[in-house]
């Protein structure tokens, strides 16, 4: 790519049950906050990450919905990569700026999930799986992730208890994030005694549904030159895999995750050891484990040992989900990938408050659609 790209502004709404708050108002609140943070009045293009608006609110065609709400008649299109939509929207904004087509672009992920009956929501989410192979058998994402987790327990001789660390750390980090959906912590007893959704996945293995929006303004780095804290997007990559689990040579290896993580690091000229924190796609505890392994941070079958012994908490070897992750900050599906980039930027600016990872200079974010069918990885770096 010709030009280097900076994250000039970030904005987010609380992740919550925003009843009486429209898709438009959520998206514009986050977008306006990002523009104000960037010190810009407008951008050249807008990319809206969203998965479910059509099913949950009856509204699609979100491009103009958002551009008109923030007073801007520029190019504006929606990007749908299921639960990876937020990350995919950030990547489109990145490509627009890196290619030289735009000086400044805004990516906003927005989702409104509350208000829809649970069974309908489960069905709407399942539409991101392979309809002919999986959904006809009534497979939900909890069920598909349960198939992965059960197999993981079998192949690596692990126990469900080993996954507690992912829930524990995410909930712990969310305690001090005022924007997080779940701020009640998760004790071992809660984890073990919670209701099963699709065994071995219990309530505390899954991320909560929620409403929310997060936005980032990306610009040509020259526009960021005067900022005292310049954060660059130094790596951006997207890869895909089969929609269904059954078509993969090894369901426990997420090849799109592997490819996008390595491509993003290669582009950045960095290595795994350079990454100070990793905002990964912990929609389910098993996904956190598979992301750590397939991204190359720990060999296959060792993620839970890595988490326990090396540490994934704020002071650990590789902090993950530093503001609660999908697991506890909440998972407004099409927005989560944008939240990750907002949170990584807060960390690199040193503005993460009680959740600050000391001396963070490189962050990785990874947004996944389906059970690993789309993976979008970004690497951010503090430049000054």
Partner 1 sequence: MPATVIERPSRAIAKRGLNYCAECGRLSEENLRACADCGGEQFKRVPHVGTIYSYTTVRRSSGSFVLALVQLAEGRLVTGRVVGAGPELRIGLPVQFVSPEEEDDDSGARGVSFGPHSEWNL
Cα(176)–Cα(358) distance, rounded to whole angstroms?
A: 16
The verdict on 196 binding partner 1 (CB under 8 A) reads: yes
Binding pattern for the stretch 228-247 against partner 1, x by CB under 8 A and - elsewhere: ----------------xxxx
Nearer to partner 1, 251 or 332 (CB): 251
Torsion of CA 52, 57, 59, 60, to 10 degrees: 0
Candidates 100, 154, 269, 310; binder of partner 1 (CB under 8 A) is 154
# of chain residues touching partner 1 (CB under 8 A): 34
Minimal distance in Å, beta carbon 143 to partner 1? 5
Cα(276)–Cα(361) distance, rounded to whole angstroms?
A: 7
User: Of 37-45, 74-82, 147-155, 260-268, which segment contacts partner 1 by CB under 8 A?
Assistant: 147-155
The verdict on 249 binding partner 1 (CB under 8 A) reads: yes
Candidates 110, 146, 292, 303; binder of partner 1 (CB under 8 A) is 146
The CA distances from residue 151 to 160, 199, 243, in Å, are: 11, 12, 18
Assign 265 to helix, strand or coil. helix
User: Of 132-140, 160-168, 352-360, 365-373, which segment contacts partner 1 by CB under 8 A?
Assistant: 132-140
The verdict on 134 binding partner 1 (CB under 8 A) reads: yes
User: Of 151-159, 228-236, 256-264, 318-326, which segment contacts partner 1 by CB under 8 A?
Assistant: 151-159
User: Which DSSP helix (H) or strand (E) runs through 337?
Assistant: helix 336-349
Catalytic residue IDs: 83, 331
The verdict on 139 binding partner 1 (CB under 8 A) reads: yes
The verdict on 157 binding partner 1 (CB under 8 A) reads: no
Cα(355)–Cα(324) distance, rounded to whole angstroms?
A: 9
Task: Look up residue 60 and give its DSSP letter.
Answer: -
Candidates 120, 155, 309, 351; binder of partner 1 (CB under 8 A) is 155
* Binders in 251-280 for partner 1, by CB under 8 A: 251-252
Cα(21)–Cα(153) distance, rounded to whole angstroms?
A: 41
> Which tokens belong to 134?
């999986």
Minimal distance in Å, beta carbon 246 to partner 1? 4
* Binders in 14-73 for partner 1, by CB under 8 A: none
Closest CA to 10 of 29, 32, 28, 37: 37
The verdict on 198 binding partner 1 (CB under 8 A) reads: yes
Nearer to partner 1, 9 or 200 (CB): 200
The verdict on 133 binding partner 1 (CB under 8 A) reads: yes
User: Of 20-28, 133-141, 169-177, 262-270, which segment contacts partner 1 by CB under 8 A?
Assistant: 133-141
Q: Which residues, at least 6 apart from 204, have a Cβ–Cβ distance to it below 8 Å?
A: 167, 186, 190, 191, 194, 285
Q: Which residues, at least 6 apart from 131, have a Cβ–Cβ distance to it below 8 Å?
A: none
The verdict on 120 binding partner 1 (CB under 8 A) reads: no
- 165, with CB counted inside 10 A (0-12, 13-18, 19+), is buried
Q: Could you tell me if 213 and 34 are in contact, meaning their C-beta atoms sit under 8 angstroms apart?
A: no
Residues that bind partner 1 (CB under 8 A): 119, 132-134, 136-140, 142-143, 146-148, 150-151, 154-155, 195-201, 244-252
């Amino acid at each position: 790519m010709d030009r280097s790209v900076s994250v000039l502004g970030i904005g987010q709404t609380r992740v919550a049950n925003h009843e009486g708050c429209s898709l438009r108002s959520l998206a514009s609140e986050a977008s306006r906050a990002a523009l104000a943070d960037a010190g810009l009045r407008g951008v050249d293009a807008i990319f809206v990450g969203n998965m479910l608006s059509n099913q949950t609110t009856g509204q699609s065609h979100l491009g103009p919905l958002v551009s008109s709400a923030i007073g801007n008649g520029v190019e504006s299109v929606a990007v749908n990569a299921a639960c990876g939509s937020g990350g995919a929207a950030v990547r489109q904004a990145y490509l627009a700026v890196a290619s030289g087509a735009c000086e400044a672009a805004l990516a906003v992920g927005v989702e409104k999930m509350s208000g829809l009956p649970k069974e309908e929501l489960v069905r709407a989410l399942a539409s991101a799986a392979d309809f002919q192979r999986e959904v006809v058998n009534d497979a939900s994402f909890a069920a598909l992730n349960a198939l992965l987790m059960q197999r993981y327990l079998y192949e690596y001789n692990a126990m469900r208890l080993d996954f507690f660390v992912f829930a524990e750390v995410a909930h712990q980090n969310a305690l001090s994030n005022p924007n997080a959906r779940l701020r009640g912590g998760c004790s071992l007893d809660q984890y073990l005694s919670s209701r099963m959704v699709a065994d071995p996945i219990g309530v505390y293995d899954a991320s909560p549904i929620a409403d929310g929006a997060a936005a980032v303004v990306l610009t040509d780095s020259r526009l960021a030159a005067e900022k005292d804290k310049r954060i660059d997007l130094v790596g951006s990559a997207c890869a895909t895999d089969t929609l269904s689990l059954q078509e993969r040579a090894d369901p426990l290896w997420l090849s799109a995750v592997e490819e996008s993580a390595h491509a993003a690091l290669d582009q950045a000229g960095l290595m795994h050891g350079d990454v100070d924190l990793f905002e990964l796609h912990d929609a389910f505890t098993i996904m956190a484990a598979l992301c750590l392994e397939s991204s190359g941070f720990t060999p296959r079958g060792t993620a839970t040992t890595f988490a326990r012994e090396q540490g994934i908490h704020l002071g650990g070897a590789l902090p993950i989900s530093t503001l609660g992750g999908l697991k506890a900050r909440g998972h407004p599906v099409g927005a989560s990938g944008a939240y990750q980039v907002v949170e990584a930027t807060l960390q690199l600016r040193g503005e993460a408050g009680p959740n600050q990872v000391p001396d963070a200079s490189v962050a990785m974010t990874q947004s996944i659609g389906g059970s690993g069918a789309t993976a979008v990885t970004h690497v951010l770096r503090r430049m000054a």
